[in-house]
Amino acid sequence: MALSAERLALVTRSVEALEDSARYKSLALNGLHKAIHSFSKENADAVLCASICLGYHPSNWRGLMAIMHGISTITRQMRPWAGESGFSSYLDQRSPHNQFEEHTSSRNEADPTQAVGYRNTLLEMLLPQGIKSLNQLASSAQSDTNISAMIRQLRDILRLVYERHSSGWSVAEQYQLIYPFSSWMTKYSISFISISEGDIFVLTTLAHFFAVVVTLAIAFPAIDIPLFVSIRIKGIIEASHILRGTPEIFCDICGTFHYHNELMDYPLNTVHAHRKLWGNKLDIATVHQDSIDV
């Protein structure tokens, strides 16, 4: 109800709707805190679902950090019965940070810097590719002001990470950077209605949105967001399947045709990079014939 009221407030500019959203959010947080205190196998899925929903519209980056830490704690406590959970297909048994360290440490245990170096090598390829792909997508989305604005914001975030990823970010800075994603999903969600109308470029934009989330997860592995990343990886793959059904897409803005490999190359490469780092079990061999080879 809080999310619906917030969307209504954005559309109608209604102060009353915004106040309702704040009240519902407060009630939801209070209820969640009570449920966490009585956390059990029986209410685990409900607690996790409520936490995820609140994670889509926190009040600020500190609120997002608290919610994400809560989700991380909940998923760890659910490990003994994860296979029985309704979220079983999305839950990772270990945090991405630990998976990354375990996966890469076996490559060269004598060199503790190799794990970070391997991740940076992938980022050196993914970040410029993402910036280029978003620039091209922005040219094709000029007619939709909301979508084109989001594309530019996604591009600017990748630029920031590209300029600074080798020098490091504090945890607070990382959460400040990823916080806009939660508000964007609310702000631009109305535009995504076009997906049901067959708007290929809106679907491609959503795939890029998810791809940037995956890229940030690679750049910032200490931020424990396994559930959010796995959902978005599946979203990218599903978007790829849909776009494969349209061999060529004519762009009225560019006056040229666009093709699946061109539109989905960056999103699918983020999936491959994530698989290389954390051993993602999703079968994507039939989705994309190429992969990042490092």
- Length in residues, the chain: 294
Whole-angstrom Cα distance, residue 170 to residue 178?
A: 13
Of the three residues 53, 84, 115, the one that is the final residue of a domain is 84
Whole-angstrom Cα distance, residue 75 to residue 289?
A: 33
Residue 91 in domain: no
Shared domain for 79 and 158, answered yes or no, is no
Helix, strand or coil for residue 10? helix
Helix, strand or coil for residue 86? coil
Shared domain for 50 and 170, answered yes or no, is no
Shared domain for 119 and 46, answered yes or no, is no
Give yes or no for a contact between 249 and 263, defined as CB atoms under 8 angstroms apart: yes
Shared domain for 70 and 103, answered yes or no, is no
Residue 284 in domain: no
Residue 292 in domain: no
pTM: 0.74
Written as six digits, the tokens of 199 are 């708007």
Whether the CA torsion 160, 162, 168, 174 is positive or negative: it is positive
Shared domain for 113 and 223, answered yes or no, is yes
The whole-angstrom distance between residue 113's C-alpha and the CA centroid of its chain comes to 27
Provide the mean pLDDT of the chain.
75
Written as six digits, the tokens of 273 are 């990079």
pLDDT tens column, 72-95: 888 888 888 888 888 877 665 444
Of the three residues 26, 52, 84, the one that is the final residue of a domain is 84
Whole-angstrom Cα distance, residue 286 to residue 131?
A: 26
Residue 293 in domain: no
Residue 251 in domain: yes
Give yes or no for a contact between 277 and 226, defined as CB atoms under 8 angstroms apart: no
Residue 285 in domain: no
Whole-angstrom Cα distance, residue 221 to residue 277?
A: 10
Q: Within the chain, which residues score under 70 in pLDDT?
A: 1-11, 56, 90-115, 166, 182-198, 222, 224-227, 247, 250, 252-253, 255, 279-294
| Burial class of residue 283, CB neighbours in 10 A (0-12, 13-18, 19+) | exposed
Shared domain for 13 and 117, answered yes or no, is no
Whether the CA torsion 172, 74, 234, 125 is positive or negative: it is positive
Whole-angstrom Cα distance, residue 119 to residue 274?
A: 10
List beta partners, residue 251: 256
Whole-angstrom Cα distance, residue 51 to residue 71?
A: 6
Residue 216 in domain: yes
Shared domain for 243 and 147, answered yes or no, is yes
pLDDT value, residue 91: 67
Shared domain for 220 and 143, answered yes or no, is yes
Shared domain for 173 and 264, answered yes or no, is yes
pLDDT value, residue 185: 58
Shared domain for 54 and 112, answered yes or no, is no
Give yes or no for a contact between 262 and 107, defined as CB atoms under 8 angstroms apart: no
Nearest residue to 21 (alpha-carbon basis) of 6, 10, 37: 6
Q: What count of other Cβ atoms lies within 10 Å of the Cβ of residue 18? A: 16
With vertex at residue 148, the alpha carbon angle to CA 144 and CA 151, rounded to the nearest 5 degrees, is 150
pLDDT value, residue 262: 84
Whole-angstrom Cα distance, residue 152 to residue 50?
A: 31
Residue 289 in domain: no
Show the DSSP H helices in 165-244 as ranges. 171-187, 200-219, 226-244
Shared domain for 59 and 131, answered yes or no, is no
Q: How many domains does the chain have?
A: 2
Whole-angstrom Cα distance, residue 32 to residue 39?
A: 10
pLDDT value, residue 158: 94
Shared domain for 51 and 180, answered yes or no, is no
pLDDT value, residue 104: 41
Give yes or no for a contact between 186 and 140, defined as CB atoms under 8 angstroms apart: no
Range of the domain at 231: 96-278
